[in-house]
């Protein structure tokens, strides 16, 4: 149920219900709607605004962590979704986190350091950065852990390109 494939808007609300009922060990669940558009100034070297905590450029296959409008990590190699499984572009907020997540949609595939930010189980997580994902943003091991440790429920994520 929680893989890297875009799905129905209601899936995020189902996630919240399952977490509450099952008592899953996750860092939190928040609203599934994207963050509002912003008129904030841009961050030099990225396609994102100073309000972003995480920035992804799908076209360039890069990701950044940003604090107070300044790059603190990146640009990093990142893999996003391929044809038919595109990572959604837009402004989002971190919904929940799970350190040792496994995808129920993709044969229990590991998704270490998962930080979920968009509808349908879209997350940052550790994985192969050289091939397209099924919608998630994959990062190398050390950056994936840093994204997990740095981003909190409610942190702004901007996906461009």
pTM of the model: 0.78
CATH architecture of the domain covering 11-160:
Beta Barrel (2.40)
Rg (CA), the chain: 14
Task: With a cut of 50, say whether residue 19 has pLDDT above it.
Answer: no
Which of 94-108, 111-125, 128-142 is predicted least confidently? 94-108
pLDDT for res 1: 43
The whole-angstrom separation of Cα 46 and Cα 130 is 21
Question: Tokens in use for 157?
Answer: 């994520």
CB within 8 A of 28, min separation 6: which ones? 95, 96, 97, 152, 153
pLDDT of residue 115: 98
The dihedral over CA atoms of 116, 54, 32, 20, expressed in degrees to the nearest 10, equals 40
């Amino acid at each position: 149920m929680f893989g890297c494939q875009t799905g129905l808007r209601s899936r995020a609300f189902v996630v919240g219900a399952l977490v509450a009922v099952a008592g899953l060990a996750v860092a939190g669940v928040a609203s599934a709607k994207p963050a509002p558009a912003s008129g904030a100034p841009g961050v030099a070297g990225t396609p994102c605004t100073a309000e972003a905590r995480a920035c992804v450029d799908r076209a360039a296959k890069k990701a950044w962590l940003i604090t107070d409008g300044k790059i603190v990590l990146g640009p990093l190699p990142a893999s996003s979704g391929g044809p038919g499984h595109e990572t959604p572009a837009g402004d989002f907020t971190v919904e929940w986190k799970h350190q040792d997540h496994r995808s129920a949609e993709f044969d229990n595939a590991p998704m270490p350091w998962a930080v979920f930010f968009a509808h349908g189980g879209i997350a940052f997580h550790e994985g192969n950065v050289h091939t397209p994902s099924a919608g998630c943003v994959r990062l190398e091991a050390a950056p994936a852990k840093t994204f997990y440790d740095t981003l909190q429920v409610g942190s702004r994520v901007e996906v461009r390109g």
